Amino acid sequence: MPFVPVLHAEWLKIRTLRSLLGALLALFAATTAFSAIAGVSETSDPEFDPLFMALSGVMPGQIAAISFGAMAVSSEFHGGGLRLSLAAVPQRGRWFTAKLTAIAVPALLVGLVTAFAALAVARAGLGDAASGLSVGEQARGVVGCGVYIMLMALFAAGLAALLRSGVGALSLLIPFILVVSFVIGDVPGGVTDFMPDRAGQIVLYETYDGRLGPWSGLAVTALWTAAAITAGARSVRRRDA
């Protein structure tokens, strides 16, 4: 079967699963809400970064993006869904590529819209505190935020394919982001600079120190995502449906 019809079929699956649409809605709602709250918070901290403050809602919002990616893949492992998909599309690589594309495109689009909305509502609250942000910095933050959200959704999708379980993928990623990354992420130097979430989040800052910049940090996150997708693809090709 040609790729375009396969992609269309995978998009129909995502569009008709309420839990997946709910995850995208939660991504938008949580990110903009927390950014709005951050925008009216105290800004007397000498290390205050107005761009990160405006886009800080992505920290809780990324949980919804991760859930979206994991659930989109794990839904195939319930009720013989994968068996039916592979009966229609025997080329497993083509099917998995279409699945990932159907995850990446809406995650990126919703991520971009969400980042723009979060920046707008937070700037309204920050007022003069955000007046120093240039158009280029804001554009970089919005685009980088959208790409980061997409990469985290794909990272979760790759893990879900590897583990054949959305619960398993979420059980690894969510504690890692909320606990491990939070606890050791502020330790200077070492491997913490190259953690998948910490590296990608550099693009959300107006100013940044360390060995990675905004785009090189996203490249590190992309490498983590590529590794997860590669492992997931091998699992899909080699294991029984």
pLDDT of residue 69: 96
pLDDT of residue 189: 56
Pick from 218, 183, 177, 212: nearest CA to 200: 218
State mean pLDDT over 166-189. Answer: 78
Cβ proximity of 204 and 52 under 8 Å = yes
Stretch (H or E) spanning 87: helix 81-88
Pick from 205, 230, 229, 231: nearest CA to 218: 205
Domain ranges in the chain are 3-238
pLDDT of residue 130: 75
Residue 19 makes CB contacts below 8 A (sequence gap 6+) with 71
The 10s digit of each residue's pLDDT in 115-165 is 999 999 998 888 777 778 889 999 999 999 999 999 999 999 999 999 988
Average pLDDT, the chain: 88
Report the C-alpha gap between 146 and 159 in whole angstroms.
20
Cβ proximity of 161 and 232 under 8 Å = yes
* pLDDT above 70 coverage of the chain, percent: 92
In 127-213, which ranges are continuous DSSP H helix?
135-163, 166-175, 181-184, 196-200
The 10s digit of each residue's pLDDT in 47-70 is 678 899 999 999 999 999 999 999
The 10s digit of each residue's pLDDT in 19-49 is 999 999 999 999 999 999 987 775 556 567 8
Conformational region of residue 195, where left means phi above 0, alpha means psi within -120 to 50, and beta covers everything else: beta
Encoding tokens for residue 143?
């685009």
The 10s digit of each residue's pLDDT in 91-116 is 888 899 999 999 999 999 999 999 99
State mean pLDDT over 198-215. Answer: 89
pTM reported for the whole predicted model = 0.92
